[in-house]
Amino acid sequence: MSAVNPSDITADLIRGMIYSGELTPGDWLPPLRQLADHLGISVLTLRVALKSLESAGFIVTSRGAHGGSRVEDVQTLTRRWTDWMRAIGDEVDDLWEYREIVETNIASLAARRRSESELREIESAWTAAATDSHTAFLRWNAVLHDALAAAAHSRHLADAMLAVRRELFLPVGLLLRTHRAEELRDAHTQIYEAVRDREPERAEEAMRSHLAGTRLMVGEVLAEALDRSSDDA
């Protein structure tokens, strides 16, 4: 599913921001002019993109002096996630392979290059209280992986991580039905400890193991969601 014009590209970008945790369920989008300036596009292009996202069920827009656009609720976004995963089909395996290449290298470089202050940032993110809230968990996960990317000192890998996170987003609302947030947080323990101990090979393998577990969970959740949508059809 490739965007072919500026409004499609913008809609894809905002959708990615929603699923990567940069925007979470119930969040209000910035005012129209402010968001357009931030994205480097015209207000007209943004209006078309927002209309597309509203029609697709990602945002709700209210009119009037106090109106604006806000992200849809968790249940609606979960349905949209199922639709998206069904639509991209065979691309999913390629995206997982790409994500593994990017994030295992980030973990390895973070173990080699991290400063003491960057380690404290990673530790602070890792030890943050886990919560069984879709929004809070999304933000926690994004902060931790961003801290690892910052410690790797590779702008291109950080950009690649963000790009693939926007494409291969996690269905956190569904994951939290079967896995406690604390359990998902603990899956990052081996990564943190390897970075702390400056062991790049161990960090790389820990990230690979974490991603394999995540991929398995996502596959199970996707199968469950597709079965449910088939039953509802």
3-state secondary structure of 53: helix
**Cα end-to-end distance, the chain, whole Å:** 24
Tens digit of each residue's pLDDT (9 = 90 or more) over 119-137 = 999 999 888 866 666 667 7
- Say if 1 falls within a structural domain: no
206, 194 in Cβ contact below 8 A? yes
pLDDT tier for residue 170 given thresholds of 50, 70 and 90: low
- Domain identity same for 48 and 82: no
- Domain identity same for 107 and 179: yes
For the entire predicted model, the pTM comes to 0.76
pLDDT tier for residue 41 given thresholds of 50, 70 and 90: very high
C-alpha distances out from residue 187 to 97, 157, 174, 179, Å:
19, 22, 17, 11
CATH code assigned at 194: 1.20.120.530
| Of 101 and 138, the one with more pLDDT | 101
| Of 27 and 79, the one with more pLDDT | 27
* DSSP collapsed to 3 states, 198-209: CCHHHHHHHHHH
pLDDT tier for residue 2 given thresholds of 50, 70 and 90: very low
- Number of domains within the chain: 2
- Domain identity same for 98 and 64: no
- Domain identity same for 95 and 161: yes
Q: What is the pLDDT of residue 1?
A: 45
Tens digit of each residue's pLDDT (9 = 90 or more) over 197-231 = 999 999 999 999 989 988 887 777 777 766 766 66
CATH code assigned at 64: 1.10.10.10
Rounded CA gap, 229 and 163, in Å?
28
Query: Does position 190 have pLDDT exceeding 90, yes or no?
Result: yes
Domain end residue (candidates: 72, 89, 112) = 72
Q: What is the pLDDT of residue 108?
A: 98
- Say if 34 falls within a structural domain: yes
* Residue 32 tokens, joined: 């129209």
* Residue range of the domain that includes 159: 78-232
Rounded CA gap, 113 and 1, in Å?
37
